[in-house]
Structure 1
Amino acid sequence: MAEIYELLHESRGKDYRAEAAVVAGLVRARNPEADSLLDVACGTGAHLRHFAELFGKVEGLELSEAMLTMARAAVPAAVLHGGDMRTLSLGRSYDAITCMFGSIAYLQDTDELASTLRSFEEHLTPGGVVAVDPWWFLETSLARHVSGDTVTVGERTLTRVSYTEREGRTSKMEVHYVVADPGSGVQHFAEEHVLTLFTRAEYEEAFTRAGLRVTYVEGIQSGRGLFLADRAGGGRR
């Protein structure tokens, strides 16, 4: 999955470069001098490699060792940390902290959300900004959703089919992949993602509990929007 992750999503139309540029512009609208960035749950480095062109110093945090290996190859100049966003403790601070592509929804409840955002706040420089790309809200999620795509890149053909079921306050997504290429023939594998469906109000309350002043930008990030936040006390301790 780590090997085909970025390739597949880009082939389906996800523009990591454009998304990184939009987030960087929104961060600098709040903090024009922002130069250091930490991308939490950076995955294979898909956004991080573009952030590296827009900020003087970039770092990433990723729980998956396989994803981290891909990120190190994609962004060799970045400092990359293996770890869980729920226990973030790097002993340094950043002008911007990002968490992209709905990764924040792997947190299981509002207490965990608030404590994780508090750890983000504790890693901010004076005037620092947090940018969180949420998963779908509880009030906007679909009860049942099927998606499928087939793309060919070079000699490799990839098919992705997913089924997402809403169960209470969780979104359970089962994804199947078929990968075919001349070297290895046809391979099939599957994975499941369990994501929490927070309401918009719950996200905003969690930011407030974390000591952050938050604004929600509608319409961007494939319609999920983006949360932007800085310290509620004016940015300085």
Structure 2
Amino acid sequence: MSANVLYTNLSGYYDLMCADIDYPAQSQGVWRLHQLFGNGGTRHLDLACGTGPHIRHFLDYGYQCQGLDINQPMLDVAEQRCPEATFSLQDMGDFRFEEPFDLITCFLYSIHYSDGLDKLTSCIRRAREALAENGLLCFNAVDKTRINNNLLVSHTNRHEGSEFTFRSGWHYRGEGERQSLRLSIDKTTGGVSESWHDEHAMVALSFAEFEALLSPLFEVHILEHDYERIVPWDGSSGNALFVCIKR
């Protein structure tokens, strides 16, 4: 089953699947980075916005927000959560807006959902075109050379009489520009179980390759993947925050 079908079919459970994500901390951390590195503006675009939980926080910070995603059921939920925002059904590899943004975000490693290196390059170029002068692009990423194929993240939640177990993990075969996100969802209701499994191909880069791609277009800062502190990447951890300033 493809990831798009999986996420569309389970859009009603998406927030449950992401229940362990600290959206307030992530949003506040990027807001802080925007205050430090940004141009002072408040026009915000969230790429691959899903059901809009990050946008909800940026609206509360006083931003004028827009979000895009390729799954309409996700956007339907986002519109209910964030009626003040504007949403559009677009591919982040080829998007266009008429007015420039001061901050463009892409949370939850969604930058890797670009379908290959060409699409990722297009996404980055589109983001630069969509930013105002000194605008900020901020996203998190995983370094393909530091992926542990044996590491899985798992959590269980109950919802409307059913028990859900969610598992996910990165996999990289050791060469090339493709990695995958392996995802499984088990739902048990009254002793009857259903399962969904997916291995979705995603673009794979090292942080050095990310920096080489970004540097001609932005002033690039690579930070530790820590939304509570602003700390330069230590050169060894496999997750990082990229803060990219349009010059």
Pairing partner for 1:200 from 196, 200, 207: 207
2:232 matches 1:224: no
2:54 matches 1:39: no
**Residues 1:66 and 1:119: Cα distance change in structure 2 (over 3 Å):** same
* CA distance in 1: counterparts of 2:166 and 2:66, whole angstroms: 30
Number of residue-to-residue matches in the alignment: 227
* CA distance in 1: counterparts of 2:105 and 2:167, whole angstroms: 28
Does the CA contact (< 8 Å) of 2:16 and 2:157 recur in 1? no
Residue 142 of structure 1, CA deviation: 1.3
Structure 1 match to 2:219? 213
Structure 2 match to 1:140? 146
Does the CA contact (< 8 Å) of 1:34 and 1:55 recur in 2? no
Secondary structure of 2:209 counterpart: helix
* CA distance in 2: counterparts of 1:73 and 1:181, whole angstroms: 27
* CA distance in 1: counterparts of 2:118 and 2:180, whole angstroms: 21
Residue type at the aligned position of 2:200: H
Structure 1 match to 2:67? 60
Residue 179 of structure 1, CA deviation: 2.4
Q: State, as a whole percentage, how many aligned pairs show the same letter.
A: 24
Pairing partner for 2:18 from 5, 9, 16: 9
- Where structure 1 has 5 or more consecutive residues not aligned to the other structure, the ranges are 233-237
Pairing partner for 2:31 from 17, 24, 36: 24
Residue 137 of structure 1, CA deviation: 0.5
Pairing partner for 1:104 from 111, 116, 137: 111
Residue type at the aligned position of 2:38: N
Q: Deviations over 1:142-167 (max 9, x none)?
A: 13333432222464421123464322
**Residues 1:173 and 1:127: Cα distance change in structure 2 (over 3 Å):** closer
Residue 3 of structure 1, CA deviation: 1.2
Does the CA contact (< 8 Å) of 1:144 and 1:166 recur in 2? no
* CA distance in 2: counterparts of 1:67 and 1:46, whole angstroms: 11
Residue type at the aligned position of 1:219: H
* CA distance in 2: counterparts of 1:65 and 1:114, whole angstroms: 24
Does the CA contact (< 8 Å) of 1:2 and 1:66 recur in 2? yes
State how 1:88-167 maps to structure 2 within 5 Å: 88-134=95-141, 136-153=142-159, 155-162=161-168, 164-167=170-173
Secondary structure of 2:147 counterpart: coil
Residue type at the aligned position of 2:16: L
Does the CA contact (< 8 Å) of 1:113 and 1:206 recur in 2? no
Secondary structure of 2:50 counterpart: coil
Q: What is the root-mean-square deviation in Å for CA atoms of aligned residues? A: 2.3
TM-score by length of 2: 0.83
